[in-house]
Structure 1
Amino acid sequence: ARVIEQTVRETLPEGFQRSEFLLEHGAIDMIVDRREMRDKLASLFAMLMRQARSA
């Protein structure tokens, strides 16, 4: 964070690189626990494949 602050010459908000901060500010869509990652990805891919077939 210090390097980024020096580069942009601004003080960055507390926790700006944490996933919760990124989620709240729209930079990411969801936070998924590592243990749930495989199931979540399978679910998302299945949904996308269904949409692609119907398009």
Structure 2
Amino acid sequence: GLPYIVVLTDPTTGGVTASYAMLGDVHIAEPGALIGFAGQRVIQDTIREKLPEGFQRAEYLHKHGMVDMVVTRADLRERLATLLDYLQPARAAA
């Protein structure tokens, strides 16, 4: 099948995050992008704890394995081309 590549921009929140945005095979986020379902205040009130610095930002999610790579928009085209080249099946020798 085809790879499902998701590009998470700022902001990616709410239902989008709870559904198709996190179902991809590869997750690419823009630097500093806010990515999450509920807001920080709602989460803090629910768990009654202070959230770590940078929580719900692309770099934090990358560090914790929720995002595969953080790529600037300027570099996105080249990175997508490299990724698609890597993911395409090898061609049999003629």
Pairwise TM-score range, normalised by the shorter structure: 0.7 to 0.9
TM-score (norm 2): 0.47
The higher radius of gyration belongs to: 1
Following superposition, the deviation at residue 37 of structure 1 comes to 0.5
1:47 has 2:64 as partner: no
**Aligned-residue identity in percent:** 50
Number of paired residues? 52
Gaps of 5+ in 1: none
Structure with higher RCO (Cα < 8 A, 6+ apart): 2
The match for 2:69 among 24, 30, 39 is 30
Structure number with higher helix proportion: 1
Other structure's SS at 1:6 match: helix
Structure 1 segments (4+ residues) deviating >6 Å: none
TM-score (norm 1): 0.73
Structure number with higher strand proportion: 2
Gaps of 5+ in 2: 1-39
Other structure's SS at 2:70 match: coil
